[in-house]
Structure 1
């Protein structure tokens, strides 16, 4: 299965000329819709649903919220973008022509299908990835983007690193009516995170989450017959496995293990595979060092954490060799299940439920972090005095005054001054996961992240922050929800697998390469970097004692991304 497409919206001869130009590009595209003001092409194997009158097409998979049934075609008339999000869910992008110069492109809240926009007068071009966007003209880097990307890491807004191209963030629509255009939020997490929508009883929250996950996850497979789950052995991917097995959907799993114990979770992955009765392939870390200077294919922004390329490459090779049509994982589980690392849940409990609930949450917080109630209370007091911000700024290794004072707009992070702190951090955490999700690439199997499905997002947002740490367990509601469907070894587990040894080994072996890359490259020439601070850190003796080396890897990704435009 693929999830790649290209679309052009406009009128008359301009649309005809673009169609003719595209035919000469040699891209492997098939016409999916051709109307008077909208033309859409898809890569073979990309599922789509067309409206009976040819006015709209949805790329991906789509389900009726009321009946739970998968749609095979869109129903006419196609509702407004906001109504569409309320009536349907799935992994999709909807492209609709309303006639007379009016069209809209809606991306579902899960972000399962990517959507970018560029204006090529007099046409609007929409596509899933950089390669297809380039069919409308050369791609040029936007130097201003990198300053924001470095100042607010992991925040994926509508900004991209390509001049004139923006991303349609999940839950939003790009709408054009004549000469007017706007980006409109059609779904917001705050609708479901509102206090009057919250589920206050722990048992009710667990029941709702169980029912929602068991309903949503198996449906996303669509008609795939060769589904592969990346099963780490952690709680999140194990929940995906349990939901698929409960529905009787055929799938197999693959797990990755490092040569050091911290990243070897095969014991837990085997427990889940045996419990679910599925085949498990085990990939072992290859003794290959990362190449931080490797220039990636042209992309709309730098790739996150080059140290993960070894893992991604191993998974991609496995899928290619064994014939995986669709890849699933547990990405976003920590985020939607509110695995927060702060004292904010206790503040929310105190604010919403009163002193007794606040004290109980402090006790849970202390158990979770292995500390005292007094220490948890002091942390909560300090947290309560902090000003709420849409996103934390990062200035490590940046030149003086290079970090921007405020982040770009994100529709999920507006009007937060009065938000409950734990709820705000939950929403921020969900927004942050999209930074780590990559765009589709030519020839690769489609990837979906079931735990980000819209019904699961909405269910989890209704759970107050303090319930997620009940009895000192992180993601407590999710653990309770899948009691009986997962082995006790998974539900009771408090440790998490780690790739720190893999990361530090690669970093230590390639420090000299990093120094040359960062101090003598294109990024350094922009004046954004504190070269002295970078040099001092790279030349320290011994293993890194903090995680700032990951920041240097991200700087290296920005450098090689800039170099990708020279090819």
Structure 2
């Protein structure tokens, strides 16, 4: 199915019927409560929604999950009340929204990573939830929130804790760890459904759980048979998924099973990703391997004018527009070979590496082990000792760190010179700066958002290392969500098995400091894949670098970029200075750091230009008499 995929969730009352009338012009599908009133309304392909029913109890799984109607109905029979939903759904693999309707009450949630999200708003006097914020914005007439648009100049998807805010006025984003409860009268409250695991398991004890969870996640991708495709960059994350996919297809032999892998070559002759991808491909003889020729694989920032019409399918701004032409090429190459789903390695770095912030925890819990690790890493990476010690001595709470981030929002960032190497930050997260072309008003708006968050926001976990991993998982989840919105519109869904809830739980239950070891690259993932991925492929410990691709892409597409920011929508809104953007684009950038915020600003600009095209109902919709 091509076109936007979306759904709304309605309360089981007369007020929900009234709200459904307002939504019908956009919808092509509907599913009813036991009462006969509309429950789920939207537009989706066959197989995306599975509903189990037992009397007045309904449980729906929307997304990627190999559960059958019969099995889900058996689970529904175990429901005593709405509070039992998580218990009866326990163990279901995949990535999906979970929604229940029991005796007039509705409970709904997405995924911990935010790959599956929910939003809610008042529609016709009643609370309605949806997986796309723009559907709620369209029916309520909401306009973009300029403070949130300013925040998207920092990074998009937004960093925690701003990522729990919605870019549309009057539309609320449901925090990814919470579920939404709606009663028959349309009143709403939230309840925590997921709590991050305590990272207490030794890494060797955690490996079997990681292997089992990752196998189940990939199995959820291959269960429907047919052709699936997968990224094969040459890195350990994507390579592991390719071998695991082939292994699952061979083990379960679903109908018409086939694997197609996609690998593209960097423009940097020193980048060894392609060599490792070729080595892996040679060990996957039953699969088809696609390596696009240069004229089949566009540069970053290509074909930007094509995105300034009504072709932006995401409900919020995102940096994916840098890769818009590549996403189109990906869909063309993979759907042309019959692929229905494309697997990518997003989430692997977040789960199976450690961030420098873990050193702040490690030095307090295990000072001798931390000292040995710091000494080894400092020797290999030349960290300045004084700067590192100041980082480790920092005792700010999460709220104090947010307040300091707000204060330094427009300060100059670290030197981007390749010759100047500083110690890594061990703070609660990355203190993104406003780009040099942001206006004072934009900076003031973001500063106010951060200061408001500093008053009440809590870290995602007490330890900085675990908090940082979770924050990055959420950022990756929201990024995948946008990519899926882009490619699903062209008939190719996106999946990142590392970001499935069960994989996240298994990986983050392992002690933070043991997720990586100096001298070994991603030891947990490597051991989990032992016997599935060939040993010689698992021995890779390097990672490709793409600054050459950035420079070449910028040089070839500079004129289109400059033109795009001539009289920009962001400039008209008072959020950026077009002349400053132009100066940056025409300047000299020895490294990509000087234009790190370009993709976010570009995504926001193109998103704004495309908005008017998304407020008109399509011509294919449920007829007025439908339930």
Say if 2:491 is the partner of 1:431: no
What do residues 41-91 of structure 1 show as CA deviations (whole Å, max 9, x unaligned)?
452322413222353322134479xxxx97576422445255456554532
Partner of 2:439: 399
Output the CA distance in 1 between the equivalents of 2:547 and 2:293. 16
Partner of 2:129: 126
What do residues 421-480 of structure 1 show as CA deviations (whole Å, max 9, x unaligned)?
222222222122124221534342222210111121011112223212313334232223
2:113–2:474 contact (8 Å) kept in structure 1: no
1:85–1:187 contact (8 Å) kept in structure 2: no
CA offset at residue 536 of structure 1? 3.5
CA offset at residue 380 of structure 1? 5.1
What do residues 100-142 of structure 1 show as CA deviations (whole Å, max 9, x unaligned)?
4x32211132444443333212343333346755774556323
Partner of 1:350: 363
Tell me whether 179-188 or 261-270 shows the greater mean CA deviation. Answer: 261-270
Q: What are the within-5 Å matches in structure 2 for residues 281-320 of structure 1?
A: 281-286=290-295, 290-293=302-305, 294-295=307-308, 296-320=311-335
Q: Give the 3 Å change call, closer, same or farther, for CA 134–144 of structure 1 in structure 2.
A: closer
Output the CA distance in 1 between the equivalents of 2:149 and 2:434. 13
Output the CA distance in 2 between the equivalents of 1:261 and 1:241. 24
Partner of 1:555: 601
Partner of 2:217: 216
1:339–1:475 contact (8 Å) kept in structure 2: no
Q: Give the 3 Å change call, closer, same or farther, for CA 49–171 of structure 1 in structure 2.
A: farther
Tell me whether 131-140 or 551-560 shows the greater mean CA deviation. Answer: 131-140
Partner of 1:175: 181
CA offset at residue 315 of structure 1? 1.0
Say if 2:377 is the partner of 1:365: yes
Say if 2:321 is the partner of 1:321: no
Output the CA distance in 2 between the equivalents of 1:8 and 1:408. 33
Output the CA distance in 2 between the equivalents of 1:137 and 1:129. 13
CA offset at residue 34 of structure 1? 4.2
2:61–2:97 contact (8 Å) kept in structure 1: yes
CA offset at residue 503 of structure 1? 2.6
| Secondary structure at the counterpart of residue 283 of structure 1 | coil
Say if 2:269 is the partner of 1:261: yes
Output the CA distance in 2 between the equivalents of 1:408 and 1:173. 26
Q: Give the 3 Å change call, closer, same or farther, for CA 325–122 of structure 1 in structure 2.
A: same
- Unaligned segments of structure 2, at least 5 residues: 403-428, 614-627
CA offset at residue 268 of structure 1? 1.9
CA offset at residue 95 of structure 1? 2.2
CA offset at residue 169 of structure 1? 4.0
- Unaligned segments of structure 1, at least 5 residues: none
2:65–2:220 contact (8 Å) kept in structure 1: no
Partner of 1:477: 524
2:107–2:180 contact (8 Å) kept in structure 1: yes
Partner of 1:232: 233
Output the CA distance in 2 between the equivalents of 1:84 and 1:503. 48
**Greater RCO, 1 or 2 (C-alpha within 8 Å, sep 6+):** 2
Partner of 1:454: 501
Output the CA distance in 1 between the equivalents of 2:387 and 2:88. 46
Partner of 1:33: 32
CA root-mean-square deviation: 3.5
| Secondary structure at the counterpart of residue 554 of structure 2 | helix
Output the CA distance in 1 between the equivalents of 2:567 and 2:164. 30
What do residues 16-36 of structure 1 show as CA deviations (whole Å, max 9, x unaligned)?
4555665555x5x33333443
Partner of 1:420: 463
Output the CA distance in 2 between the equivalents of 1:10 and 1:205. 41
**TM-score in terms of structure 2 length:** 0.77
2:279 pairs with one of 262, 271, 278? 271
CA offset at residue 551 of structure 1? 1.0
| Secondary structure at the counterpart of residue 30 of structure 2 | strand
**TM-score in terms of structure 1 length:** 0.84
Partner of 1:108: 111
2:94 pairs with one of 90, 97, 108? 90
Q: Give the 3 Å change call, closer, same or farther, for CA 489–304 of structure 1 in structure 2.
A: farther
Q: Give the 3 Å change call, closer, same or farther, for CA 159–488 of structure 1 in structure 2.
A: same
Tell me whether 145-154 or 316-325 shows the greater mean CA deviation. Answer: 145-154
2:8–2:131 contact (8 Å) kept in structure 1: no
| Secondary structure at the counterpart of residue 118 of structure 1 | strand
Q: Give the 3 Å change call, closer, same or farther, for CA 133–274 of structure 1 in structure 2.
A: farther
Q: Give the 3 Å change call, closer, same or farther, for CA 19–82 of structure 1 in structure 2.
A: closer
Q: Give the 3 Å change call, closer, same or farther, for CA 229–139 of structure 1 in structure 2.
A: farther
1:162 pairs with one of 143, 168, 175? 168
Output the CA distance in 1 between the equivalents of 2:73 and 2:461. 43
| Secondary structure at the counterpart of residue 468 of structure 2 | helix
Output the CA distance in 2 between the equivalents of 1:43 and 1:471. 47
Output the CA distance in 2 between the equivalents of 1:285 and 1:464. 43
Q: Give the 3 Å change call, closer, same or farther, for CA 34–409 of structure 1 in structure 2.
A: farther
CA offset at residue 253 of structure 1? 1.7
| Secondary structure at the counterpart of residue 50 of structure 1 | strand
